[in-house]
Amino acid sequence: MSSKQTLLRGMALALSLALLAGCRRPAVITPASSAASSQPVAAQPAQTLAIAVNAGQYNPYLTSNTLTGQSADLLFEKLVVLSPSMELEPRLARSIETSGLTVTLTLREGCVFADGTPITAEDVAASLLAAKASERYSARLANL
């Protein structure tokens, strides 16, 4: 693992821990003397740690940054995903049919891009060709 990857993983871990620290319930502090007040006092909020990371680009075919690649999973819906039992589950695809070496995916109706433009089979084909041409996915999609 390169030092850059180690640094990115360490920063991702630190960011995750900082986010998790903010997920706890605020403590309630009760005064030691009952003469002062019978109302509980809320604890001061935790301090926030901000870590600046140059995320690069969010094109999943061109990014080489692990953090950006993981973030892209939150931005882009997939055609299918693998279930815990390693079965294909449709997402943007409504159905999956296989016959020999042929896989046919039928898109769900009503799928749109962020600007409201409908997603078509041509868009899916163009995305697969772009992925196949990319350095990141070319080996995985060589037989496509």
pLDDT per residue as tens digits for the range 15-29: 665 555 555 555 566
> Which tops the pLDDT comparison, 72 or 114?
114
Residues 81, 127, single domain; the answer is yes
CA separation, residue 131 to residues 2, 51, 57, 141 (Å): 25, 31, 15, 8
| Structure confidence at residue 57 (pLDDT) | 77
Residue 142, pLDDT above cutoff 70? yes
Residue 125, pLDDT above cutoff 80? yes
pLDDT per residue as tens digits for the range 39-90: 777 778 888 888 777 767 778 888 777 777 777 778 888 899 999 999 989 9
Residue 119, pLDDT above cutoff 90? yes
Residues 49, 89, single domain; the answer is no
**Residue 140's domain is classified under what CATH number?**
3.90.76.10
Q: Does residue 83 sit within a domain?
A: yes
Residues 137, 82, single domain; the answer is yes
Q: Does residue 65 sit within a domain?
A: no
Q: Does residue 8 sit within a domain?
A: yes
Tokens of 114: 């962020």
Residues 14 and 51 sit within 8 Å (Cβ to Cβ): yes
Can you tell me the distance from the alpha carbon of 137 to that of 134, in angstroms, rounded to the nearest whole number? 6
pTM greater than 0.75 (yes/no): no
Residues 46, 88, single domain; the answer is no
Number of domains in the chain: 2
Q: Does residue 60 sit within a domain?
A: no
Per the structure, the complete domain to which residue 8 belongs is given by 1-53
| Structure confidence at residue 34 (pLDDT) | 54
Can you tell me the distance from the alpha carbon of 43 to that of 28, in angstroms, rounded to the nearest whole number? 6
